[in-house]
Amino acid sequence: MLGRTWKLCLLLLLGLGLRSQEALPPPCESQIYCHGELLHQVQMAKFYEDDKQFVDMPLSTAPDQVLQSFRELLAQAPNQSIPRPQLQLFVQEHFQAKGQELQPWSPGDWKDSPQFLQKISDAKLRTWAGQLHQLWKKLGRKMKPEVLSHPERFSLIYSEHPFIVPGGRFLEFYYCYGHIPNGGRVYYLQRSQPPLLTLMMDRYLAYTNDTTFLQENIETLALELDFWTKNRTVSVSLEGNSYSLNHYYVPYGGPRPESYSKDEELANTLPEGDREALWAELKAGAESGWDFSSRWFIGSPNPNLLSSIRTSKLVPVDLNAFLCQAEELMSNFYSRLGNASQATKYRTLRAQRLAALKAVLWDEESGIWFDYDLENKKKNREFYPSNLTPLWAGCFSDPGVVDKALKYLEDSQILTYQHGIPTSLKKTGQQWDFPNAWAPLQDLVIRGLAKSPSPRAQEVALQLAQNWIRTNFDVYSQKSAMYEKYDISNGGQPGGGGEYEVQEGFGWTNGVVLMLLDCYGDRLTSGTQLAFPEPYCLAAALLPSFLLSLLPR
């Protein structure tokens, strides 16, 4: 299954990369799905519980006609505000239900009983894994031909290749890269997501050795990294030295179309002159994947408030660790293709980044990396699982950091949480904060530790895997569903907080569970105890499972 499905996934993303090289109009130009009076009036009328619903609805006719009808209504409206019943009729007449443009799809190489199921000792976990494996078929989609023949009637961006959706409200593929969107809708065109395409290519190659495919597409991979260099670099001066690192940054204002009324209302709590900056920081938060978290709330008036968001003023550990790994892989890829000068270029970039990570983000006193706060010129010393990302990414030169990171986890009492690693220790009501726990963050910590030769690190990794499996299994046993996030405070429940209801599905949660069962299937149990005391994991052979399902934002 891996080879073919990964190739489809990569083709999809690479295709968008090529598209973005052409001379395109400015991102997000649609006057229906991206900005303008129609979007404003419909979203502020709040016909739907979730603003995303409206911007996912296809048009019934050409956009010009829809806009013309809207202008006529507006001209008749007494004070430039169309009365609610008329506006609702207008929407019914000119828009179709969401999801119309997609049809079900089963991956062609999907197998009924893949081998890894046999490795799972615990019978209950084995049955559960079989059910989760079935879900890939439920989450598979392909686009109807209308999206190709009439792209202007859809917010969905056409792709000839089928894909896996995360589930719930997220009915499109996620993660594109750089100057192409965070997800496959036009209203995402201004934002990236964490840059993981090069890592995906590496996994694809590990399973296929398809060097031709690499050769054909390596320049698109390079374009992504160029985008981060050109458009997302910050310089940090410390003790007379200057270091280049990257940050999340979206230089476009306006409310996010898919959360329009919330962004508009939040902006109304600030002076008018501060609103565009707030919207840009919200979009940068969405680009980070952590939308939203107190991790980004370093501004005034109050570090617990979303309006204090300053995403672009932080130099994030995880982003820089991902790029560090990408630079290493690019260097290896170019060597493999016999291009020594490019191989050297990326090796040098990686060496510079290693030095910058050590000088700016590493904290010897705490024995861990921290995000750097550019505004206050100091590290943000709060706990986040992302602080450990360099272990996962293999982005450090001193092997002693693993023991220090373990001690950091113990000192910050993170190992006392028995249902999963919390996203932060602050309870703000945001979804990327306490008490929520997210699958990709478990993966970062578990595999970061499991990779290490230290037996103690491997033992902790296995225990963390057991904790997470048990939470996911217990909730599944009660609700027959997998969730995008879990609340670890009450013995494990579906998560809450943030901008929308917790979503079922769910791509990355299923991916991480299946990866852990594949890796530790002979040790994990559906109860509270591990089956065997001695931990062991073929960490190097694992795929970056959280990429499998392409994260929503």
Residues making contact with ligand NAG (CB under 6 A): 78-79, 81, 179, 207, 209, 219, 230-231, 339, 341-342
Q: Specify the residue for token string 């963390």.
A: 464
Q: Which is nearer to ligand NAG, 198 or 293 (CB)?
A: 198
Annotated active-site residue 101? The verdict is no
Residue nearer to ligand NAG on the CB measure, 2 or 414: 2
| CA pair distance 218, 410, nearest whole angstrom | 41
* Range list of H helices, 451-505: 455-479
Which among 56, 484, 487, 518 is annotated as catalytic?
484
Q: DSSP characters for 313-342? A: GEE-HHHHHHHHHHHHHHHHHHHHTT-HHH
**In the complex, residue closest to ligand NAG by CB:** 179
CB of 255: closest distance to ligand NAG in angstroms? 17
Number of alpha helices (DSSP H) and beta strands (DSSP E) in the chain = 19, 13
| Residue with Cβ nearer ligand NAG (21 or 103) | 21
Q: Residue 224: phi, psi to the nearest 5?
A: -60, -45
Nearest distance from residue 219's CB to ligand NAG, in Å? 5
Distance (Å, rounded) from C-alpha 514 to C-alpha 510? 6
| Contact between residue 27 and residue 227 where contact means Cβ atoms under 8 Å apart | no
141-167 burial, b at 16+ Cβ within 10 Å, e below that, comes to bebeeebeebeebbbbbbbebbbbbbb
Shortest Cβ distance from residue 505 to ligand NAG (Å)?
29
Least distance from ligand NAG to the Cβ atom of residue 341, Å: 6
Nearer to ligand NAG, 205 or 324 (CB): 205
In the complex, what is the shortest distance from the CB of residue 463 to ligand NAG, in angstroms, rounded to a whole number?
Answer: 32
Of the two residues 118 and 209, which places its CB atom closer to ligand NAG in the complex?
Answer: 209
| Nearer residue to ligand NAG within complex by CB, 78 or 453 | 78
State yes or no: is 50 an active-site residue. Answer: no
Vertex 409 angle, CA 540 and 475, to 5°: 75
Phi, psi of 257 (to 5 degrees): -55, -35
Q: Which of 291, 318, 327, 518 is catalytic?
A: 291
* In the complex, minimum distance from the CB of residue 339 to ligand NAG, in angstroms, rounded to a whole number: 4
- Say if CB 463 and CB 534 are below 8 A apart: no
H-run or E-run covering 378:
strand 378-380
Using CA atoms, how far apart are residues 308 and 407, in angstroms rounded to an integer? 32
Which residues are designated catalytic? 291, 484
